[in-house]
Structure 1
């Protein structure tokens, strides 16, 4: 199925053959999460001196200097509300890290409590990431980073310079020019399709098509025809020949998301395609050769599915010519600030308010309040980057025309529902609270429940909090995904994608410019089902 790459077709990835990462060790680091000058979010300071016994690190208004990884521009925090008298960091007892805050210096708050004198952090707390608030204006995240810092790789369309995303970029460049199947693993919303696109764009196939297909969104009755094509009259409703996604991706890359949802007969056909490079359209007995690079993705434990007998081991072995593991957002907290800023720029540009992120003076109140910045880096993000993008959109749109970001009570409750276990944490009030909405269900590992115990309002609240991701909703409520489908069907408050008229879907598609996530928020239906309706109506890929 995949053509051999000639020596002169190697791409950017070539220099990774035989490449080894230099030996590095982890050191404490500080990354800016909030600052009166928003463009500084993501700047970093490595505290390498703390690796030496007896050494301390000082942090004040005038020194030391922070910089974006790989940038030559470095500057101190520079906020006039910070003291010239430094906050200090030093090695503590039993491998801990100690923070020293002078009484007449910059006010420091950690975990909702002021620091008076000193406070020690365990190695586990530092590894997880500790937000530190300075003078209620600047938030830095204390975390671990590799030292010495390597030159930054190209971003490949991925935001962030944390260790997790850097490893993903390196893996992309290692495999991009090799025409082997790639399996991308990661939680829902963690950016697996972005990884697949990066592989395609850095491969010799970049001039060919990139076709993205969510197997979980395809009708079980038509999935074979959708993938492999079909002859006219092969099944009821087949009024013409169907090309199929494999042939549509000829000469390029086919990305199959949620490959763990593939039915048994499709698994057999996928294995045959990988072994022979040929597809059999439904209703045809003649094979059709295809030249396609296959990239698949899953958030499922395929090894466990093999043990359960619902996934074929030979298929996993063929799909995983090379594996890339995408870290969840909670494991790359130093990237939350830059990601938030990236999505905020997109939304502010759409609302015509991009100037809010530039030209801030030294006495300006931070556009991203310290209390909100702390919540963002401490939240568990079960929906990962997709959820962060939606939260950012909600914050920006909900704050149009205001000098800073306003947070409503529902979102505040959601961000407080699941946080890192810092002892003594007491959330501080966010600015401009509105009237309380319906409380969200608990985020913390719900026990299994009976579907009959879930009320209609609780179901609706959980769906909205999960951005209409039915799997995340099921986990939030402690019931199965099948039970969520059943409750939606029975609910008088909800409707399904099948209830929507073609006119309503078409109008929403054009108003949202094809952005499926915006359509889901507006129509309040399952993303998978809506994606299928959009495709059926010929409105373009979503």
Structure 2
């Protein structure tokens, strides 16, 4: 048996051994009936500490959640093969799971699900996937792609959840493009971008003269999406009285224009998206429970970018290629230290924010490679959230404050994980970000104070100071000689 202190080695997982057997419990919960020593070590516990315990106590942070995979196997009564699964803590690992129905439990009161794990092959771990405009290789995104393939053929409503900027409309478009409705229209509407008074008319249409300003008959989004897909973005913000009419359209497949005397039949598949917790909105009375149950037949969750940093290099490559075509330039790549910096940031704006940051740096860069120093100004803004030089009065009067992601985090981490807390380190590369010998993509322009702060932040190590400044160590030595600086000058 592996000790709790032993490093987890995925080679300890036999290819065909049942590593985990889950027993179904009342209320949709799962209990660990048996677990292999190697898998228990992944949870940082001994086998006897986990047997009989709730699944959430051991593997609550799996992506995708093991409980969700077990539930899918039982609901569809068929196995799942080659499902990439990642575990974040306490010992990160990326595995491939095979999930099978395991029959009935010994007391015949519940069903069993059997998991077998193996190491991911090089083609399964790290290979970039592009699917419907989405890019990624992480277990979370592979699960999104798998669910799109699985749900595309159905006409059942789908709810896509995820934070702002994760790409929920791309998921909706991919569901449409892979479905039998792909020749029909894809119609999108943002429920929070239209006033409460006009949303009902926008969705269901209106007759001429139905209200003041209705000078002609208007076809609503449902009619325009007939025989296709209707994407309702930010559905959690839909007014309650409009929710009732939407429920009727979903239940009966019929709509009635505002001011009309008769209903008409429509054939529409609805895909809804939300960045708020619908369950919480139901509890607060802001969202109808009956509409929630009617919509939440199928669900796809888009993980935030901070939970899949391994996708950032693929996304950066994707966006660089896009910007090269757009601006007719040839910037080949980001340096390893620049990628390390991007992977250290928490990305509250997710992929939309990443794209905007990369486009900004792309436009400013004249070299063929983008280094970490190119992001210095952006880091200062993110760390301090200061107004900048365009409003010095506001900068002086308003205390610096950290930018908080819109979604609650499990911890009070800085936006740049492991980022140094000194003013200097907020301006340049986090400690350890640039490898030795890495060169900046911008010409060095260092002054005495900047060098002194880097030297002190690096603990008196010149090589470390050069890494923080984003320049070659030889460049720093030349500046020391040019400025007549000695070590004792830098320590003052």
| Shorter-normalised TM range | 0.5 to 0.7
In 1: Cα distance, 2:130 partner to 2:368 partner = 35
**TM norm structure 1:** 0.51
Match of 1:170 in 2: 146
SS at match of 1:159: strand
**Separation in 1, partners of 2:261, 2:295:** 25
CA deviation string 1:49-69 (max 9, x = no partner): 5879xxxxxxxxxxxxxxxxx
Distance 2:259 2:238 in 1: 20
Shift of 1:281: 0.7
Q: Does residue 1:391 correspond to 2:357, yes or no?
A: yes
| Structure-2 change in CA distance of 1:50 and 1:123 (3 Å) | farther
1:344 aligns with 2:344: no
Partner of 1:224: 200
Structure 1 residues 186 and 204: CA distance shift in structure 2, 3 A: same
Shift of 1:412: 2.1
2:344 equivalent in structure 1: 378
For residues 442-489 of structure 1, give each alpha carbon's deviation from its aligned partner in whole angstroms, at most 9, with x where no partner exists: xxxxxxxxxxxxxxxxxxxxxxxxxxxxxxxxxxxxxxxxxxxxxxxx
| Deviation by residue 1:283-326 (Cα, 9 ceiling, x = unmatched) | 11211111100000101011111111111000010111111111
SS at match of 2:279: helix
Q: Does the 8 A contact of 2:160 with 2:168 survive in 1?
A: yes
Change (3 A) 1:177 1:184: same
* Counterpart position of 2:119: 148
Counterparts of 1:90-109 in structure 2, within 5 Å, are none
Residue in structure 1 matching 2:220, options 226, 238, 244: 244
Give the Cα separation in 1 of the matches to 2:379 and 2:247.
Answer: 47
1:287 equivalent in structure 2 = 263
The whole-number CA distance in structure 2 between the counterparts of 1:377 and 1:125 is 20
Which residue in 2 is equivalent to 1:203?
A: 179
List alignment gaps of at least 5 residues for structure 1: 1-27, 30-46, 53-91, 97-121, 128-142, 358-366, 436-542
Q: CA RMSD in A?
A: 3.3
**2:263 counterpart of 1:259:** no
Relative to structure 1, the CA distance from residue 48 to residue 353 in structure 2 (aligned partners, 3 Å threshold; closer, same or farther) is farther
Change in 2 beyond 3 A, CA 1:242/1:94: closer
Distance 1:251 1:434, change over 3 A: farther
- SS of match in other structure, 1:216: coil
Distance 2:276 2:134 in 1: 23
State which structure, 1 or 2, has the greater radius of gyration over its C-alpha atoms: 2
Give the match's secondary structure for 2:136.
Answer: coil
Q: Deviations over 1:214-256 (max 9, x none)?
A: 1111122210111100111112221111101110101100000
Q: Report SS of the residue matched to 1:309.
A: coil
- Does the Cα contact within 8 Å between 1:125 and 1:422 map onto a contact in 2? no
Per the alignment, residue 426 of structure 1 pairs with: 431
Q: 1:125 to 1:183 in 2, by over 3 A?
A: same
Tell me, what secondary structure is at the counterpart of 1:296?
strand
Q: 1:188 aligns with which of 152, 156, 164?
A: 164
TM-score after normalising by structure 2: 0.56
- For the pair 1:157 / 2:133, whether they are aligned, the reply is yes
Q: What is the deviation of 1:390? A: 1.0
Alpha-carbon offset, residue 408 of structure 1:
4.9
Q: What's the counterpart of residue 332 of structure 1?
A: 308
Q: How far has the Cα of 1:423 moved from its partner?
A: 9.8
Deviations 1:175-222 (A, max 9, x none): 110111001111111111111111111100000011111111112221
Does 1:298 pair with 2:264?
no
Q: Which secondary structure does the structure 2 equivalent of 1:217 belong to?
A: coil
- Between the two proteins, the alignment pairs up a number of residues equal to 302
Shift of 1:157: 3.3
The separation in 2 between residues aligned to 1:223 and 1:94, in whole angstroms, is 49
2:234·2:273 contact (CA, 8 Å) conserved in 1?
yes
Alignment CA distance shift 1:94-1:164 (3 Å):
closer
Distance 1:409 1:289, change over 3 A: same
Taking the aligned partners of 2:320 and 2:285, their CA distance within structure 1 comes to 45
Compute the displacement of 1:164 (Å).
0.3
The whole-number CA distance in structure 2 between the counterparts of 1:343 and 1:202 is 24
Ranked by relative contact order (alpha carbons within 8 Å, sequence separation 6 or more), the top structure is: 1
Deviation at 1:378, TM superposition (A): 1.0
SS of equivalent to 1:297: strand
| Separation (CA, whole Å) in 2 of partners of 1:275 and 1:294 | 12
